[in-house]
Structure 1
Amino acid sequence: MAEHMDMREQAVNVAEAPLRDPRTVMRLARLGAFHQSRLSFMRVLLRRLRNEGWHFDRPVFDIDERGVGVATYRVSGPQNTYTLVAFAHELDDSLRSDRVIAEAWDTTFTLCDGEVDAAQIERLSANVPKQEAGRVSDTEMVLSRANKSVRLFRHVVESLAAGAQPDATMIDEVGYLVRTTAVYGSGKFGAADRANWATRPEFTGSFQPEMLAVWLIRTFSVDLAEHMARVAAPATAVRLDPEIRRKLGVGNSTGLGMAPFLINHPRLINSWIAARETALARLRAIGTADDSTIRQFRLLARRAAKNADEWQVADERQMAKIERLRDDFTWIVARADELDTADAMPWDSFYREAEATLSLEGQEALVSLMMEPYGEIVDPLAACMHADEELAHRIDGKA
């Protein structure tokens, strides 16, 4: 309840409908149907970087013709600077494994607090490639590693080297050039404890240093592919088309920590869900929608439907859910076309009809879509997506 009161304080004059019943929301089937939204961790981070005019550059790119070496990516904001140090390695295919017990990777990374010099890079080069077997210091915030999607990475390099763009179908099927097998933070293996940076404005919320590291890893993956294309054919190589680049993310090959995380961090999970539910309650309390908002929603609904048409997964159960979601989007688009500026409580009516008509995937996709035109009442809730998980009192071990 305290967390929800904090959220109310974020926008005193914003009306709210009742929250959905926790017995409806807190079910694994529904939680697993949540879609990305304005409150997703990465979008919160990128919105802040854009709004505050953060500056990005690449001071070091010392990668040889084998694709081995080091690069640094510097991010400078109003108060602080951070640097991703990326190491690229030559890895035999027989050693490439996404299992936790792996001991070698295509790429390894650390996000550093501040700028780095040659001496720090030298120290990191002796530790970061070892991951768990090495040690970093409290000047490093995140430790990570990633393997290439060998088939797509090779295809992208060969295409760019030939002066062509990669096949769009392959890009859509895979969606990333590298996939992380771990992203460690908050004191792991000697890295800075969360208390060292938790009060910094840019890291308000959850997993913001980790999101920054992953976003820069994505940049490095493209830079590495373009570099290898230039090495292969300096006379004909071209850069990756920006529209194709926008489709690339970072893969994730493991999620071993999710189950214990859910058990061990109930207050944090509560803050995440409460923010999303409060956003929905605010949307459902809106009396009318203007013409501009309706037109924007219709456009986004069609874009989301088109995006869902491109999803392909090997798992039959999930593919069946995606196919049902595509049908749900047909309904959402048609219902959006019926919206009118004269409608009373338009989003509440829309949601109630969806709840009675759509699958869980469709219902939660609609919730995310409804947030999009209303950044002014949704985005402030991102500041509430954290929790004080310290014990109310410490145990006196001397007693």
Structure 2
Amino acid sequence: MDRITDITRRPPDVVMRLSRLGSFHQSRLSFMRVLTRRMAGESWDFTRPIFDIDQTGVGYAVYTARGPARSYSLIAFAHDLPAAKRSDRVIADAWDATFTLFDGVPTQADIDRLAQNVPLQEAGRVSAKELTLSRANRSVRLWSHVVAALAEGRQPDADQINSVGYLMRTTAVYGSGKFGAADRETIADRSELTVPFQAEMLTVYLIRTFVRDLVQHMARVEGGDKAVALDSAIAQRLGIGNSTGLGMAPFIVNHPVLFNNWIIAREEAIARVRRVQVATADELRMFDTLCARVAMSVGEWRSEHPVQVAKLADLHDDLRQIQAYRKTAFDGEFPWNRLWLWAFKSLSEEGQELVASLMLEPYPDLVDGLADCMADTFEKSFRIDGTMTVGDLRVILADVYGWAADIDWAAAEHCARAWYVSAEKLEPRLGERFEEPIAAFEQPLAPARDAVSLIYDLADIADETLVATVLLDHPEHRQAVKRAQLTRVAPYGEIRDNTISAAVMPIDMLRAKLSFFGAIHFDPRSDRWVRICMYKGAPYPEDLSPETSDLWVYPTGCA
């Protein structure tokens, strides 16, 4: 395949702005799709050895996924939750269902131990044999409708299915050592878990299967012999909802190398496709088909948040422009580069980033291998380079944080917010600096402000001075120096925006991360939390195959 080589990745100054990060869409590199491709390609086997749920919907079930080297089991606990206790808030202490992903196949003793802890979530404890801890609540209206319909021997209403998109939504999927679960380092060398968040994505995939089975069980309880199973096409259109709040937002600030690896893989994939000299008829046809299919998905995307409403209006217009463009301008050389340049000039950021995802789809050979580069094995071993000169450090600071140097960081509008950790829930929070007594508890989540403070303190220090000497006198700048030096290996590790301003939208950070998970239908409920849908359209385990394992995220028609 002939390609030109002077097309490079977009610069961080363009990519790492919050408004753009908050416009990202799922892609071939999203972790859910990486997982389903792997499971299908390796012919994973799925069983349900236990489904012990009683007439009230209370009990437990086990779902085991067997790969070439290891098995993983979702242990699901179903509860009879009073309506008054159902809440998506992190302070909730009871849920419709709770889950853990067990490393291997559990014994009855394992299940008994976990039954005393998993339903308690944060109030309980799990062990290093557990990889994740999760919980979920029903979408009450749709759940009741589906149970009633199936119990009466009919299928649920397609419009209601499409308007909600899920029967349950998770409010947390914890991993990486929380509450006693296995640390990431203990499983990171497993080939099936090397790509980030694979254990969490497997948890949600199996939860979706459990939810389908549970709703059918409750319909049989209510309807007896008259009840019918959920039509497979309708079931496939149901994903798992998720409510994600501020707890996730600081992640991308606290893990600059990891986030860099996600971004640079995506940017490299885009650059590779832009370098394709000639697109085949099949490649162009795939893009054309997926444009139409994504338009169906966007048509089902609902939100009442004014920011997202405006973005959706732009996206509908962008899709019309894309459809017009692709009818006239795909002839000739380097069609994807021409599409890219046109999109950058003509579309909203939402539309531009959708084009970025869509143009990767015809090129698995160019794109999919980059998923293996998205983990981070470097940052924890990094040490500040004390031998660097102040002159060299100044160059890095100007390049990465120069945009922030002219901001008056003492002005209220530029430092209105402060990130801190809730003492009650040990979760990140964002407060109003001048309205709440939180400044003393502020977390280091304003790297641009801290970098500018470092720049000021370096102003009168000679270029040849060593960084080690500076840090002896100014140890408060260690974090800022470390982050600046990390950008030499992680150029996309820093957000090029103010994360504590009065105008900051934390949902942009949430969406950036969730897009790499593979989430769709982002629905902000405020500027600080968002609902999404996961695995909508995905094949269930019995239907998973190489043919069904990837493009499921694009709907093919109404159920």
Task: Give the counterpart letter for 2:39 in structure 1.
Answer: L
Q: Does 1:131 align with 2:127?
A: no
Q: TM-score, normalised by structure 2?
A: 0.67
Select the residue among 242, 251, 267 that pairs with 1:252: 242
Select the residue among 347, 360, 365 that pairs with 2:349: 360
Q: CA deviation at 1:290?
A: 0.8
CA displacement, residues 108-141 of structure 1 (integer Å, 9 cap, x when unaligned): 0000000011111111101100111111111110
Q: Does 1:33 align with 2:23?
A: yes
Q: Does 1:57 align with 2:47?
A: yes
Q: CA deviation at 1:239?
A: 1.4
Q: Does 1:337 align with 2:322?
A: no
Residue 371 of structure 1 aligns to a residue whose secondary structure is coil
Match of 1:112 in 2: 102
Match of 2:7 in 1: 17
Match of 2:156 in 1: 166
Tell which deviates more after alignment, 199-208 or 236-245.
236-245
Select the residue among 169, 180, 192 that pairs with 1:202: 192
In 2, the alpha carbon distance for the partners of 1:291 and 1:241 equals: 35
Where in structure 2 are the equivalents of 1:185-264 lying within 5 Å?
A: 185-264=175-254
Q: Does 1:151 align with 2:144?
A: no
Residue 235 of structure 1 aligns to a residue whose secondary structure is helix
Q: CA deviation at 1:378?
A: 0.5
Task: Give the counterpart letter for 1:236 in structure 2.
Answer: K
Residue 81 of structure 2 aligns to a residue whose secondary structure is coil
Q: Does 1:295 align with 2:292?
A: no
Task: Give the counterpart letter for 2:242 in structure 1.
Answer: N
Q: TM-score, normalised by structure 1?
A: 0.93
CA displacement, residues 245-286 of structure 1 (integer Å, 9 cap, x when unaligned): 122111112322222212210111100000100000001100
- Change over 3 Å in CA distance of 1:295–1:339 after alignment to 2: farther
Q: State percent identity of aligned pairs.
A: 55
Q: Does 1:320 align with 2:310?
A: yes
Select the residue among 337, 349, 354 that pairs with 1:348: 337
In 2, the alpha carbon distance for the partners of 1:45 and 1:303 equals: 22
In 2, the alpha carbon distance for the partners of 1:58 and 1:313 equals: 36
Match of 1:87 in 2: 77
Does the 8 Å contact 1:54/1:77 carry over to 2? yes
Match of 1:47 in 2: 37
Task: Give the counterpart letter for 1:114 in structure 2.
Answer: G
Structure 2: runs of 5+ lacking an equivalent: 385-559
Q: CA deviation at 1:235?
A: 1.4
Q: Does 1:370 align with 2:359?
A: yes
In 1, the alpha carbon distance for the partners of 2:277 and 2:155 equals: 48
Does the 8 Å contact 1:148/1:178 carry over to 2? yes
Residue 59 of structure 1 aligns to a residue whose secondary structure is strand
Task: Give the counterpart letter for 2:311 in structure 1.
Answer: K
Does the 8 Å contact 1:14/1:282 carry over to 2? no
Does the 8 Å contact 1:16/1:283 carry over to 2? no
Q: CA deviation at 1:52?
A: 0.6
- Change over 3 Å in CA distance of 1:107–1:241 after alignment to 2: same
Q: Does 1:385 align with 2:369?
A: no
CA displacement, residues 190-243 of structure 1 (integer Å, 9 cap, x when unaligned): 111112111000012111100000111111111110000011112121111222
Does the 8 Å contact 1:84/1:111 carry over to 2? yes
Q: Does 1:75 align with 2:65?
A: yes
Q: CA deviation at 1:316?
A: 2.5
Residue 257 of structure 1 aligns to a residue whose secondary structure is helix
In 1, the alpha carbon distance for the partners of 2:84 and 2:350 equals: 39
Match of 2:548 in 1: none
Does the 8 Å contact 1:165/1:241 carry over to 2? yes
Q: CA deviation at 1:393?
A: 5.1
In 2, the alpha carbon distance for the partners of 1:70 and 1:263 equals: 38
In 2, the alpha carbon distance for the partners of 1:173 and 1:320 equals: 19
Q: CA deviation at 1:339?
A: 4.7
In 2, the alpha carbon distance for the partners of 1:28 and 1:130 equals: 36
Structure 1: runs of 5+ lacking an equivalent: 1-10, 395-399
In 1, the alpha carbon distance for the partners of 2:63 and 2:329 equals: 46
In 2, the alpha carbon distance for the partners of 1:391 and 1:115 equals: 34
Q: CA deviation at 1:14?
A: 9.7
Does the 8 Å contact 2:4/2:277 carry over to 1? no
- Change over 3 Å in CA distance of 1:277–1:134 after alignment to 2: same
In 2, the alpha carbon distance for the partners of 1:160 and 1:14 equals: 57
Residue 233 of structure 1 aligns to a residue whose secondary structure is helix
Does the 8 Å contact 1:66/1:90 carry over to 2? yes
Match of 2:446 in 1: none
Match of 2:460 in 1: none
Task: Give the counterpart letter for 1:329 in structure 2.
Answer: L
Structure of higher CA gyration radius: 2
- Give the length in aligned residue pairs: 382
In 2, the alpha carbon distance for the partners of 1:207 and 1:22 equals: 24
Q: CA deviation at 1:356?
A: 0.6
Q: CA deviation at 1:338?
A: 2.5
CA displacement, residues 279-322 of structure 1 (integer Å, 9 cap, x when unaligned): 00001100010111111111111111122112111213212211
Task: Give the counterpart letter for 2:367 in structure 1.
Answer: V
CA displacement, residues 146-185 of structure 1 (integer Å, 9 cap, x when unaligned): 1111111111111111111111111112111111111111
Task: Give the counterpart letter for 1:146 in structure 2.
Answer: A
In 1, the alpha carbon distance for the partners of 2:252 and 2:302 equals: 28
Does the 8 Å contact 1:15/1:286 carry over to 2? no
Task: Give the counterpart letter for 2:191 in structure 1.
Answer: P
- Change over 3 Å in CA distance of 1:244–1:15 after alignment to 2: farther
Q: CA deviation at 1:16?
A: 7.1
Match of 1:7 in 2: none
In 1, the alpha carbon distance for the partners of 2:255 and 2:244 equals: 19
In 2, the alpha carbon distance for the partners of 1:245 and 1:183 equals: 22
In 2, the alpha carbon distance for the partners of 1:116 and 1:14 equals: 53
In 1, the alpha carbon distance for the partners of 2:296 and 2:171 equals: 30
Residue 179 of structure 1 aligns to a residue whose secondary structure is strand
Match of 2:405 in 1: none
Q: Alpha carbon RMSD of aligned pairs, Å?
A: 1.6
